[in-house]
Structure 1
Amino acid sequence: MFTSIDPATGTPGASFAELTAAELETKIQRAHDAYRSWRITDYATRTDLLERIAEQFDANAHRLAEIATREMGKTLKSALAEVEKCAAGFRHYAQEGPAMLAPRAFPGGTATWHPMGPVLAVMPWNFPYWQVVRFLAPTILAGNVGLLKHASNVQGVAAAIEEIVIAAGAPAGLFQNLPIKSDKVAALIADDRIVAVTLTGSEGAGMQVAEAAGRALKKVVLELGGSDPFIVMPSADLDLAAKTAVTARIQNTGQSCICAKRMIVHADVYDAFLEKFAAGMQAVVAGDPMESATDMGPLSSEAQRQTVLDQIAMIEAQGGKLLFGGEALPGKGAFMSAGILVDVPTDHAVAQEELFGPVAMLFKADDIDAAITLANAVPFGLGSSIWTNDADERARFERDIEAGMIAVNAMLASLPHAPFGGIKRSGHGRELGPYGLHEFMNLKTVLG
């Protein structure tokens, strides 16, 4: 049994029964059967369904947003924005997707894209709708079918997504929610009826899924953690950089793989940036996520807050200094204050970890070489944000930053048309854009 807990109040919400072994088997077979017919549908049938799903997201936006806020604590306004983004994602693949599947001619033949079968998605709680849509929209367009194992604390969201897809008129078995625990995932991956798996989550979960996929010789896409650098050079617009840095750190209460977590600032502008950034972080309003004036809701759970507090304590024990904030707020709920850490020892293991909460680590760099070295001195390589108005500096960063994505003079974001993913321990493979669509398709060569 899964029970939702409102992290803003600690109050239990709806409960959801875990699938029995027989029920799980029925769903897998239903997916297998659905694929046999869906794979041969034409693109118009698939894109029409994508458009109808988008309409359902729009029509149910407020209800869907409230479920996410109650289950994992994001502000209602950010949950509404997430639902709107989901509708845009479905429409993107409906409108642009068929062109991505056009055959590619080469001397003597063509290369054509074909579906593969049921795809299993193991998804996290932090963007509980958008993470699913990133896999589901291209899955439907490709002619595949989808199975969702969602995080335990967002089972209401998972059920709602399935309801939306069914209400849009999807064939039975095209997309199914699997309310199961993580210990069932390896057996699912080994099942011959499931052809591939995609996971967004922690390093540990990624290693387990990758191992299971490797044993079954199945395609896997992994989007894991990140400790994204936010680099500020002297030529940058400091006011805009500092303002954006606040949003980039506290969005989703700091619980995003592409949140800016390490602010790396050139020595010449370090003090000026810190003054502006600190003022912005101190002004962050943490409170009831249903209220429009709230900037930041609670963390997803008491356990998640304690993890962040423990990380801060370890950094302080190694000589780091908490300038302000970074503390549990009194009263009900998993709230904590936004904060800034300085003098973090870069050679200590804790500085290599991902801080999944609203606390920034601030570092000083003497020059561009030092900034790049600091940026790359972690095992992650997901995203990054660089702030410079110098063309030569921009070229250096684009070439030398070890990451799958770079935002220039802007906050990094995931977009339906832009490839999303990382390198190193941040995973492999890509979501979104044509590359995410092609990940789980068979590129078939036809000669003659």
Structure 2
Amino acid sequence: MLNMLRPQFASYGRAMAGMRPSVLATRRYSSSASAGIARRVLQELGLKDENPGVYNGRWTGSGQLVESVNPATGEVLGRVSAGTMSELDETLKAMEAAKHQWREMPAPQRGEIVRQMREALAAKKEPLGRLVALEMGKIYQEGLGEVQEYIDIADYAVGLSRMLNGKVIPSERPGHFMMEQWNPLGIVGVISAFNFPVAVYGWNSAIGLACGNPILWQVAMLPNAKGAPTTNLCSVAVTKILADVLEKNKLPGAICSLVAGGADIGEAMAKDSRIDLISFTGSTPVGRRVALTVQERFGRVLLELGGNNAIIVMDDADIELAVRAVLFAAVGTAGQRCTTTRRLFLHEKIHDPFVERLTKAYGQVRIGDPTEAGVLCGPLHTTAAVERYLEGIADVKAQGGSILYGGRALADRPGNFVEPALTSVQPDAAVVQREIFAPILHTIRVGSLEEAIQFNNAVGQGLSSSLFTRNPEHIFKWTG
């Protein structure tokens, strides 16, 4: 049994609730974090200036040395050496040897190991959450929330380890019955994305480990002039924490393996029949290629891809509640969540006052270093993301839309900062049909719930949707 169900944002409500009064501050911009904070965090997590990016019971990594850059300052945080194809093969051989010992361990004992991992992660929650902020660029409270997500799913996995039971099924033959027993699937490959450098792996690994499967983690590191997404320090830090637990319990380190590398490593994992399941988080085009490659060898695949998420606000909604929700749904993580709200359908009766209040709220969003208290919007992860943001703004204008707020890259400071943008555009505009991984929110006027639902479902992507109303009939129509 390998259940990958995951409560993605349960902890964010707790993490964000305590900071809402301060994020809409009068001072809009904050200074960059000091290099001293980064040095302290790296030291607490056992990271150095140069770190091996392959772990299979021992740390190696003879490939290219890749810099990890703070997107808020442009400063190099550290370096991680990529794995090679031969090191991937060595890692899989080590995992093949380790998987038998792990699967034969009683499930409650595996759950005890996951519990110890949970405790070890909790002990490093503060520096690990701050590293997420430093390396990925999301605000510190979100970084803490992401580590808490891993802790929460580990709690669930510990309980799951005592519930891996099967059915006893009566047979039509007298004196006979059938028994169902679940067995571990095998090696699970997790290919994660930059925007959730801890939680995505946690959602997959905690469940996979409890169910008896060793985990191979691949983090993309594709350096180029524009700075491709990479959060390798986070992956090395997490793996160190887990490896320490395995070592203390005299278990093979290959149970939690890591191979940092480029597309060649990811493609090789998708093709390798030794990996029984690939869990991929990333863009839709890459996810499609991964799925086809894995299916060619009759492997199993889990995909978490992009979205084009919408919020519908009806004329009977609690406007104050809706404005607050829309603000963080669109601006949080600087628009770099697969569930970021990108389309806002407003009933015509409340459209104008809602846009006016939302625009004022946008004007109060504090943009700056994500490690500072009170900041709501950190940087985009790469300079390439800034370019895509600007291309999206240009497309809005070219397609007859208007910019109600924002739309600029902030050149008055180092880092990849942009202003969260609020636009007005037609629902069938081409720019509305695609996912732009940046804080751009399109507002669209609708005359009825039926029209909003039609527009909501008219794009090729899915993932998440929300409705603000006090009318139960609207709720049932929307969910039905």
- Shorter-chain TM-score: which interval? 0.7 to 0.9
Shift of 1:96: 4.0
| 2:188 maps to amino acid | V
1:230, 1:384 within 8 Å by CA — same for their partners in 2? Answer: yes
CA distance in 1, matches of 2:391, 2:113: 46
Report the Cα distance in structure 2 between the residues aligned to 1:187 and 1:143, rounded to whole angstroms. 23
2:110–2:161 contact (8 Å) kept in structure 1:
no
- The whole-number CA distance in structure 1 between the counterparts of 2:256 and 2:354 is 48
Secondary structure at the residue paired with 2:243? helix
1:332 aligns with 2:414: yes
Q: 1:154 aligns with which of 216, 221, 231?
A: 231
- Alpha-carbon RMSD: 1.4
2:84/2:265 contact within 8 Å kept: no
1:84 to 135, 148, 156: 148
Say if 2:365 is the partner of 1:284: yes
The reply on whether 1:199 has 2:262 as its aligned counterpart is no
Q: Which residue of 2 aligns with 1:112?
A: 181
Amino acid at match of 1:168: V
Which residue type is aligned with residue 80 of structure 2?
F
Partner residue of 1:211 out of 292, 295, 298: 292
Q: Deviations over 1:275-322 (max 9, x none)?
A: 222221221100011110211110111111111111111121011101
CA contact (8 A) 1:6 1:71 kept: yes
Query: How much has 1:69 moved relative to structure 2?
Result: 1.7
Q: Distance in 1 between matches of 2:181 and 2:115?
A: 25
State the AA in 1 paired with 2:190.
Answer: A
AA partner of residue 123 (structure 2): A
1:374 lines up with 2:438 in the alignment = no
Q: Normalization by structure 1: what TM-score?
A: 0.86
Question: Cα distance, 1:184 vs. partner?
Answer: 2.3
Q: Secondary structure at the match of 1:113?
A: coil
Rate the CA distance shift 1:165–1:398 in 2: closer, same or farther, 3 A.
Answer: same
Distance 1:366 1:293 in 2: 37
Max Rg structure: 2
Trace 1:15-26 onto structure 2 (pairs within 5 A).
Answer: 15-26=79-90
Aligned partners of 1:135 and 1:43: how far apart in 2? Answer: 17
Counterpart contact for 1:227–1:261, Cα < 8 Å: yes
**CA–CA separation in structure 1 for the residues paired with 2:363 and 2:459:** 27
Q: SS state of the match for residue 455, structure 2?
A: helix
CA contact (8 A) 2:88 2:265 kept: no
| 1:79-109 deviations in Å (ceiling 9; x for gaps) | 112112211111121124532x221343332
Find 2:242's aligned residue among 162, 165, 190. 165
Match of 1:59 among 120, 123, 132: 123
Give the alignment partner of residue 399 of structure 2, picking from 318, 326, 330: 318
Query: Which residue in 2 is equivalent to 1:249?
Result: 330
Aligned to 2:429: 348
Deviations 1:219-271 (Å, cap 9, x if unpaired)? 11111000111111122111101111101111111110111111111111112
CA contact (8 A) 1:282 1:338 kept: no
Is 1:128 aligned with 2:191? no
Q: What are the Cα deviations for residues 43-77 of structure 1, in whole angstroms up to 9, with x where unaligned?
A: 22111111111111111112212222221111122
Following the alignment from structure 1 to structure 2, what is the Cα–Cα distance between the partners of residues 189 and 359? 33
2:92 paired residue number = 28
Partner of 2:56: none
* Aligned partner of residue 178 in structure 1, secondary structure: strand
Note if 1:138 corresponds to 2:220.
no
Flag the 1:268–1:190 CA change in 2: closer, same or farther, 3 A: same
Instruction: Report the TM-score when normalising by structure 2.
Output: 0.80
- SS of residue matched to 1:127: coil
Alignment of 1:90-105 (within 5 A): 90-99=154-163, 101-105=164-168
What SS does the aligned partner of 1:23 have?
helix
Mapped contact 2:426–2:444 kept (Cα < 8 A): no
Q: Structure 1 residues 347, 39: CA separation in 2 closer, same or farther (over 3 Å shift)?
A: same
Determine if contact 2:85/2:265 at 8 Å carries over to the other structure: no
Where 1:195 maps in the other structure, the secondary structure is strand
Structure 1 portions without partners, runs of 5+: 400-448
Q: Check conservation: 1:148, 1:176, Cα contact below 8 A.
A: yes
Q: Is the 8 A contact 1:129 1:157 kept in 2?
A: yes
User: Runs of 4 or more off by more than 4 Å in structure 1?
Assistant: none
Please state whether the residue corresponding to 1:150 is helix, strand or coil: strand
Say whether the 8 Å CA contact 1:286–1:296 is kept in structure 2: yes
1:308 matches 2:389: yes
CA distance in 1, matches of 2:347, 2:371: 38
